[in-house]
């Protein structure tokens, strides 16, 4: 088997292990929450379902089975890509997730592009320039240390309520995505800009940049063609963390801006003890994160051949 195929097989096995562990923890965590799922399925405690109705629901959903049996059935369904049926919505979890997935992907993808672009521009403009770098570092520190929801509230107050430049809450369209994108992008842009700037400054002090200057290369060419490639390695290392932060921040941002998406679905499912929906979204998030990390590792090997040779 070729080295790359062996590496991909190992990563696939690791991904399956992560998915199993995530699903197991989600199953255990939701089962430890106090309360009876039968009441949720019946419409809540306020529905005043009769004991006979509750017993029928428990029998239908296997809630009388011992936990090991419930767990085995749960894992068996996951293996068949069956996430179960939502207790609250009476729909397959896959349908619930797919209906809201597009809105969340648009939010997270746009914020990722904006965050990485902003970090790159800031690093290129301020690397090796102490005055500009000092001011930018202060702004980056403020962005990193401020929670997403607070950034969102500040942006809403300034640009929606005061200036009326963007829609306030719950609207669709490109304009309604601008403030949520900025809210998610600023913290990761602050971290990545600092890492990229440090990498550029180290690269600009290396002998190969002096050689490039002696051959008449312009400063912009040196930064973009020579130094940036060396600075990209630590950025790629942190990209998995940055994308994970985006996924985690989506819940808060969708709540602040009253946007539909998986974040709102998770909040509603947790409050309503909708076990299948919570588990399905958690497993999907783990799968997404594993795929992203595998892609970044492959990209890392493209950028740095030394890593490729050592790993394969």
The predicted-structure confidence for 249-303, as pLDDT tens digits, reads as follows: 888 888 888 788 888 888 888 777 778 888 888 888 888 888 888 887 777 777 6
| pTM score | 0.76
Q: How high is the pLDDT of residue 275?
A: 82
Evaluate whether 115 touches 125 at the Cβ level (below 8 Å).
Answer: no
pLDDT in tens, 39-85: 667 666 555 667 777 777 777 777 777 778 888 888 888 888 888 88
Mean pLDDT confidence for 198-205: 77
Separation between Cα atoms, residue 153 and residue 173, nearest integer Å: 20
Q: Which residues contact 196 (CB under 8 A, 6 or more apart)?
A: 119, 120, 122, 123, 127, 231, 232, 234, 235
In 3D, which of 147, 144, 152, 143 has the Cα closest to residue 180? Answer: 152
In sequence order, which ranges of the chain are alpha helices (DSSP H)?
Answer: 3-32, 37-41, 51-60, 67-79, 93-126, 130-145, 148-155, 174-204, 207-214, 219-221, 228-256, 262-271, 275-303, 305-311
Length of the chain: 312
3-class secondary structure, 107: helix
Instruction: Give the model confidence (pLDDT) of 204-235 as tens digits.
Output: 777 777 776 777 666 667 776 767 777 777 77
Say if residue 311's pLDDT is above 60: no
Q: Phi and psi (nearest 5°) for 261?
A: 160, -175
Residue 274: CB atoms within 10 A of its CB come to 26
Task: Please give the pLDDT value at position 114.
Answer: 92
Three-state SS at 155? helix
- Cα gap 33→274, rounded to integer Å: 11
What residue has token string 């497993």? 283
Bridge partner list, 92: 85
Residue 34 pLDDT: 67
Three-state DSSP state, 92: strand
- Assess contact for 228 and 204: CB atoms under 8 A: no
Q: What is the mean pLDDT of the chain?
A: 79
Q: Is 235 exposed, middle or buried (CB count within 10 Å of its CB: 0-12, 13-18, 19+)?
A: buried
């Amino acid at each position: 088997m070729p080295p790359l195929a062996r590496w991909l097989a190992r990563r696939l096995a690791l991904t399956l292990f992560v998915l199993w562990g995530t699903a197991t923890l989600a199953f255990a965590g939701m089962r430890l929450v106090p309360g009876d799922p039968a009441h949720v399925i019946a419409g809540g405690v306020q529905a005043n379902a009769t004991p006979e109705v509750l017993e029928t629901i428990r029998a239908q959903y296997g809630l009388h089975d011992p936990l090991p049996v419930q767990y085995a059935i749960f894992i068996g369904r996951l293996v068949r890509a069956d996430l179960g049926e939502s207790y609250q919505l009476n729909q397959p979890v896959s349908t619930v997730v797919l209906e809201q997935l597009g809105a969340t992907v648009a939010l997270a993808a746009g914020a990722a592009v904006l965050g990485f672009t902003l970090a790159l521009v800031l690093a290129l403009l301020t690397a090796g320039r102490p005055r500009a770098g000092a001011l930018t570092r202060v702004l980056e520190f403020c962005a990193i240390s401020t929670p997403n929801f607070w950034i969102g509230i500040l942006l809403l107050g300034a640009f929606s309520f005061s200036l009326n430049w963007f829609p306030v809450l719950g609207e669709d369209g490109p304009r309604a995505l601008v403030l949520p994108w900025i809210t998610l992008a600023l913290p990761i842009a602050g971290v990545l800009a600092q890492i990229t700037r440090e990498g550029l400054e180290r690269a600009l002090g290396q002998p190969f940049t002096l050689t490039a200057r002696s051959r008449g290369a312009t400063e912009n060419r040196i930064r973009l063609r020579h130094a940036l490639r060396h600075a990209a390695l630590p950025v790629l290392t942190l990209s998995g963390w940055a994308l994970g932060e985006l996924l985690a921040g989506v819940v808060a941002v969708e709540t602040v801006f009253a946007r539909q998406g998986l974040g709102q679905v998770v909040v509603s499912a947790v409050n309503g003890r909708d076990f299948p929906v919570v588990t399905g979204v958690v497993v999907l998030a783990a799968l997404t994160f594993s795929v992203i990390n595998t892609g970044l590792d492959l990209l890392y090997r493209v950028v740095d051949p030394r890593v490729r040779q050592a790993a394969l």
